């Protein structure tokens, strides 16, 4: 009997030389930076789930409501296809998509991809309980690794999706590289569905990343605890405070860890000593805000054909569906 859950792990709990080099470069540039993938250890993944429940964090609910409208159109467009999700996390949005394919009587095959193995395995098991005909092949990997190592498709095509506006964590150059990796990872006829947060009043944006319960602050500070464990660093999270601001020139939220005192930090795994002044900020995340037409246009330059775009009634969040030519 074929197992309904298979797992492929391309990342290890320790770190590779290229990860160490990437972190060293990030921490020694100005401003000092931490790659946002380090938010997601077990606790970081749990904290992100709590962020999604905060009333100020409109992104998750708005995108899920939009997906309720859009999901029934997907199986009509793609017919039998393998669902592949980048940065799947709790896979909560996948339920909406799976329901739509199930209603059409199409085969259910799902490939979640996430750097955080705990949340990927847990959510895969939940999905298998809820969908008796579902097969899951999970890939614990970075987006880049997974896109370069997608196993051969077992259904006529793939629908790759990247939701939650995680695209916003890439700067312009990284976004361009990512779109090339997506295009290279797909075959002609495959689909790509992308969820993006759109431009809006900066007060709404800043509130979303400064929730009253302080969950985003905990999420931000947890990145230091993760670096301590993974790279043998000695950051003291209490000596930092969470700052999230909207940069109106770059059209992005910028999330920082601000040093509250002058201090030195040692990162054993990199043999790197850092000095931070009081008030100095480490950039931990950018979250760019987008124009839907512009992003769809960028995708056409990577060999995709636009199929449809959707946005919610307030014009806060957008989805674009394109097909690889
Ligand atoms: C902001 S959460 C979004 C989760 C879900 N897609 C949603 O829309 O609610 C980002 C997810 O991507 C994963 N992730 C972050 N950086 C990653 C990377 N470089 N490669 C693979 N997964 C990554 C995290 O572990 C997390 O589950």
Angle at 38 between CA 36 and CA 42, to 5 degrees: 130
16 band by pLDDT with thresholds 50, 70 and 90: confident
pLDDT number for residue 315: 98
pLDDT number for residue 1: 60
CB of 135 within 6 A of ligand 1: the answer is no
Question: What six digits make up the tokens of 5?
Answer: 């859950």
Residue nearest to atom 6 of ligand 1 (CA): 88
3 band by pLDDT with thresholds 50, 70 and 90: confident
β-pairing, 240-247 with 252-259?
antiparallel
Mean pLDDT of 172-182: 98
- Kindly report, residue by residue over 143-157, the tens digit of the pLDDT: 999 999 999 999 999
Mean pLDDT of 130-148: 97
Q: The tokens 């246009």 sit on which residue?
A: 297
Fold of 5-9+52-201+290-324: Rossmann fold (3.40.50)
Question: What six digits make up the tokens of 55?
Answer: 């009333």
Contact 182, 170 (CB under 8 A): no
Query: Cis peptide before 202, with omega less than 30 degrees from 0?
Result: no
- Ligand 1 centroid distance, CA of 166 (Å): 7
- Kindly report, residue by residue over 43-69, the tens digit of the pLDDT: 999 999 999 999 999 999 999 999 999
Q: Which ranges in 104-169 belong to alpha helices (H)? A: 117-130, 143-148
- Kindly report, residue by residue over 190-207, the tens digit of the pLDDT: 999 999 999 999 999 999
pLDDT number for residue 12: 80
Contact 269, 15 (CB under 8 A): yes
CB of 235 within 6 A of ligand 1: the answer is no
pLDDT number for residue 19: 93
Given a cut of 70, whether residue 2 has pLDDT beyond it is no
CB of 112 within 6 A of ligand 1: the answer is no
What ranges do the domains of the chain cover?
A: 5-9+52-201+290-324, 31-51+202-288
CB of 138 within 6 A of ligand 1: the answer is no
- Ligand 1 centroid distance, CA of 275 (Å): 30
Nearest-atom number in ligand 1 for the CA of 52 is 9
CB of 100 within 6 A of ligand 1: the answer is no
- Ligand 1 centroid distance, CA of 92 (Å): 12
Mean pLDDT of 304-323: 98
pLDDT number for residue 260: 98
What is the DSSP track for 2-58?
--SEEEEE-S-SS--HHHHHHHHHHHHSSS-B--GGGG-SHHHHHHHHHHHTSTT-H
CA distances from 3 to 6, 22, 128, 133, 135 (A): 7, 37, 11, 12, 8
CA distances from 265 to 58, 221, 257, 304 (A): 36, 15, 14, 46
**C-alpha closest to that of 61 among 109, 100, 96:** 96
- Ligand 1 centroid distance, CA of 114 (Å): 6
pLDDT number for residue 289: 98
Mean pLDDT of 76-93: 97
User: Using the 8-state DSSP alphabet, how is residue 198 labeled?
Assistant: B
């Amino acid at each position: 009997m074929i197992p309904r859950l298979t797992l492929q792990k391309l990342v290890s709990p320790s770190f590779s030389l290229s990860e160490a080099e990437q972190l060293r470069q990030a921490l020694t540039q100005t401003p000092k930076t931490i790659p946002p993938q380090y938010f997601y250890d077990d606790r970081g993944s749990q904290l992100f789930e709590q962020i999604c429940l905060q009333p100020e964090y409109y992104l998750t609910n708005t995108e899920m409501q939009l997906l309720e409208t859009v999901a029934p159109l997907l199986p009509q467009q793609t017919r039998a296809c393998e669902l592949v999700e980048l940065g799947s996390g709790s896979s909560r949005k996948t339920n909406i998509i799976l329901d739509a394919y199930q209603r059409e009587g199409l085969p259910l095959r799902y490939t979640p991809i996430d750097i955080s193995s705990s949340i990927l395995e847990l959510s895969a098991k939940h999905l298998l309980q809820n969908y008796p005909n579902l097969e899951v092949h999970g890939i614990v990997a970075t987006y880049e690794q997974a896109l370069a190592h997608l196993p051969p498709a077992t259904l006529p095509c793939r629908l790759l999706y990247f939701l939650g506006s995680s695209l916003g964590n890439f700067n312009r150059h990284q976004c361009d590289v990512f779109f090339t990796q997506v295009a290279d990872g797909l075959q002609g006829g495959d689909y790509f569905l992308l969820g993006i947060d759109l431009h809006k009043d900066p007060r709404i944006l800043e509130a979303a990343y400064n929730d009253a319960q302080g969950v985003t602050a905990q999420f931000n500070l947890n990145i230091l605890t993760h670096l301590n464990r993974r790279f043998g660093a000695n950051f003291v999270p209490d000596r930092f405070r969470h700052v999230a601001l909207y940069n109106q020139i770059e059209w992005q939220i910028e999330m920082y860890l601000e040093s509250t005192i002058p201090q030195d930090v040692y990162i054993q795994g990199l043999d790197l000593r850092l000095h931070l002044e009081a008030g100095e900020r480490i950039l931990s995340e950018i979250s760019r805000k987008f124009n839907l037409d512009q992003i769809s246009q960028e995708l056409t330059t990577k060999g995709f054909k636009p199929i449809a775009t959707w946005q919610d009634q307030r014009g806060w969040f957008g989805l674009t569906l394109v097909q690889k030519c």
